[in-house]
Structure 1
């Protein structure tokens, strides 16, 4: 299934994509795409619904982030060996975990804000894992049982804030709109091999990133299990799993985003996003 949330910001309604690519309204069955809806039992109940029985959503509504009730956005740094090389870093021996604050979460085609004082705004196409069940101290062998599905995320980053302003990476990752997610959550059963997904990102129509999830340093079961040793994962939590090479910071000389630039990005089978950079709003 492809699960979506569409409508104005703060008023999104749950839906699913039918075989013809049309949005079907799920609000008669579930309040939102969150909590128990993301559990194996909840997803099985949705799968039993005939999409043709659901009302069509007319027009071209805004896509919101495809999951609600997110308590944590956890990011894995330098998880592609070729990306680590382009940044001059050694590949890590354990997953690097940092956080992106919830206020960064936005829809896949919403504008991305350039913060005040920003001079190094960067892009990162990433495969995101959406947690479906409470996970604490899970093994690698059972880790994927706790995953509801996958989505595209652009891990937008301000590199000066991230690397030159002291402290941890969080403040370079957490401005409003720094977490476009979607357009949809693709359930785990719909993805034959999440470790063989092509990914790409363009800026103003020029290819910047090309990669494949087959080159992850730490695979998805490893990441879910690893993170669950340090904190309890809850339904709706998002784990972004790293980015392939081609970020602005790694270019020679570095190239960064400015107001008016347009990012388009996607991952095989998980859909595409498009964002325009705008000046930060109050």
Structure 2
């Protein structure tokens, strides 16, 4: 996060506050949050929960549906995400983000977790009316500026003994609208690392966004969206209009 002219690493503290490395504690809203890592390649999974695929009238895929995202899409905790004025349906996607910790090539699934540095929460917004093809999402859907809040922090892999059994949830203005469990992924984390590393080298800082369960809802300017994953964190984001987004000082 950025505070008093410098970038700081932070960790949770008591009473919902955060602690800087020098021991000072702050309220979450006292500083500007940044993405918790410098991203390398960002891989995103489509339809990686069977219930979500069914929700969109698709069958679960038989192989991973992966596309790339640019780093411009990432923003931090307590950030703003723009809903374009011409959008007719924009929704959140609560996702477990897997961060690669070392170079990985031709990794067998049994060894996959050895290459994971840690985990964080991502909210990968989509505008459905911009979509040309669910199997090949176009740039306007998934690579818009600030369309993917991520954070609040990176949780070390050793602190998450079973990432394939974590509860996920999303609330809109304090009303729970999405609930699921990472156990319901079509392709689990080891399968994804094995698949990606079979044809390309994964590098430290690469991020795999592992998909979202069912329970999507349209969001509007002014809505406060909270995406939360058990043991990982609680990520807060606010939807804003074009006017607010383009006229708010950096």
Q: State the TM-score, normalized to the length of structure 1.
A: 0.78
The correspondence of residues 55-134 of structure 1 with structure 2, limited to 5 A, is 55-59=23-27, 60-68=30-38, 70-134=39-103
Q: What CA deviation, in whole Å up to 9, does each residue of 1:182-237 have, x standing for no partner?
A: 11111111012101100100112222110001111111011111112233222111
Q: State the partner residue of 1:160.
A: 129
Contact 1:99 1:170 in 2 (8 A): no
Q: State the TM-score, normalized to the length of structure 2.
A: 0.88
- 1:246 Cα deviation (Å)? 0.4
- 1:24 Cα deviation (Å)? 4.3
If each structure's strand is expressed as a fraction of its own residues, which one has the higher value?
Answer: 2
Per mean C-alpha deviation after superposition, the further-off stretch among 58-67 and 105-114 is 58-67
Contact 2:119 2:232 in 1 (8 A): yes
The alpha-carbon distance between structure 1 residues 217 and 165, as it changes in their structure 2 partners (threshold 3 A), is: closer
- 1:115 Cα deviation (Å)? 2.7
Q: Matches of 2:182 and 2:232 in 1, distance apart?
A: 13
Instruction: Determine helix, strand or coil for the equivalent of 1:76.
Output: strand
Match 2:8 to one of 7, 13, 36: 13
Q: Tell me the number of residue pairs that the alignment of Structure 1 and Structure 2 aligns.
A: 242
Q: State the partner residue of 1:181.
A: 150
Q: State the partner residue of 2:195.
A: 226
- Unaligned runs of 5+ residues in structure 2 are none
Instruction: Determine helix, strand or coil for the equivalent of 1:183.
Output: strand
CA RMSD of aligned residues (A): 2.4
- Unaligned runs of 5+ residues in structure 1 are 1-5, 27-53, 249-255
The alpha-carbon distance between structure 1 residues 121 and 220, as it changes in their structure 2 partners (threshold 3 A), is: same
Q: State the partner residue of 1:191.
A: 160
The correspondence of residues 21-40 of structure 1 with structure 2, limited to 5 A, is 23-26=18-21
Q: State the partner residue of 1:252.
A: none
- 1:105 Cα deviation (Å)? 0.3
